[in-house]
Amino acid sequence: MVESRHRVHAVRVDAAGAVVESRGDPGLVTFMRSAAKPIQALALVRAYSDLVDEDVAIASASHGARAEQLAAVRELLARAGAGEDDLECGPVDGSRLNHNCSGKHAGFLCVCAAHGWPFEGYRLREHPLQREVLAAVDEAAGLGGGQIPMAVDGCGVVTFGLSLGQMAAAFGRLVRNELEGADRVVSAMTAHPALVEGPGAAATEVMQVIPGAVAKGGAEGVLCAGLADGTALALKVEDGASRATLPAAAALLDLADLRVSTIRNSRGEAVGEIEAES
């Protein structure tokens, strides 16, 4: 029995940025949410030349508070000369470190330290950090100074409204190294896909299966991916169900082994499946 259906809008672009495949509404404008993190991390790699891959990967991550992920967040905080209380994301289980966006926030603090900008309010759109991030997103999306709708993300920072085509174009420019610092972000994420999200997460699974791929998910069912050949895709699950992103991406990328996701109950028993339809 089919219990739920999740409608997915998606677009794929070639290495020149032209649309080669679409499903649903490829012009759909939605918030990029955490899928923007690899673009936001450009500010970090542009500020420092001596970062290790783990630093960059965790700044691009939506982590699960695993030990190795929290250790990477602490490394960034130490570089910034900052502490947990300087993080402006909300606490999870009593700790701001545990928030899945703490790596991005720690990276933001590092950028502030490098430029001599105040830590306080770094999440707000009027802070010089967020103005720099906005410029990076604008460049990646190829808007040339166009107006990007903005709102507040779940972790308190600015989030950006783009069409799926613009999101795909941004990831294409990232993997083609057309943005300053893009090579550092790509090499870090491809070296540490499990740091970026975690086992079973759509972005991590895609990166582990496709050599050279860079992928990042966002809240409300967003997923973007750039491939080593310079092509890219972006998708949005209309009802915001992130559980549909991996099967949908697998269908678009012809990844037969990932096209069906197993649903498990609290006992770990397989009780159903999520499968992508054409």
- CATH number for the domain including 89? 3.40.710
- 275: how many CB neighbours lie within 10 A of its CB? 13
Spatial contact of 226 and 14, defined as CB atoms under 8 Å apart: no
**Predicted pLDDT of residue 150:** 96
Per-residue pLDDT in tens (0 to 9) along the chain, 278 residues? 999 999 999 999 999 999 999 999 999 999 999 999 999 999 999 999 999 999 999 999 999 999 999 999 999 999 999 999 999 999 999 999 999 999 999 999 999 999 999 999 999 999 999 999 999 999 999 998 878 999 999 999 999 999 999 999 999 999 999 999 999 999 999 999 999 999 999 999 999 999 999 999 999 999 999 999 999 999 999 999 999 999 999 999 999 999 999 999 999 999 999 999 87
Its domain, for residue 14, covers 8-275
**Predicted pLDDT of residue 276:** 92
Residue 52 sits at the vertex; the CA angle it makes with 51 and 53, to the nearest 5 degrees, is: 120
Split into its structural domains, the chain has a count of 1
**Predicted pLDDT of residue 147:** 84
The pair of structure tokens assigned to 166 is 């613009």
pTM over 0.85: yes
In a domain, 1, yes or no: no
Query: Whole-angstrom distance between the N-terminal and C-terminal Cα of the chain?
Result: 18
In a domain, 75, yes or no: yes
The pair of structure tokens assigned to 247 is 């099967």
**Predicted pLDDT of residue 260:** 94
In a domain, 194, yes or no: yes
In a domain, 124, yes or no: yes
The pair of structure tokens assigned to 206 is 């895609």
Query: Residue 217's beta-bridge partner residues?
Result: 223
Query: Residue 236's beta-bridge partner residues?
Result: 9, 222
Query: Residue 222's beta-bridge partner residues?
Result: 218, 236
In a domain, 128, yes or no: yes
In a domain, 123, yes or no: yes
Sheet holding 150-152, edge to edge: 29-31, 158-163, 150-152
Spatial contact of 239 and 220, defined as CB atoms under 8 Å apart: no
In a domain, 2, yes or no: no
**Predicted pLDDT of residue 277:** 87
In a domain, 3, yes or no: no
**Predicted pLDDT of residue 144:** 81
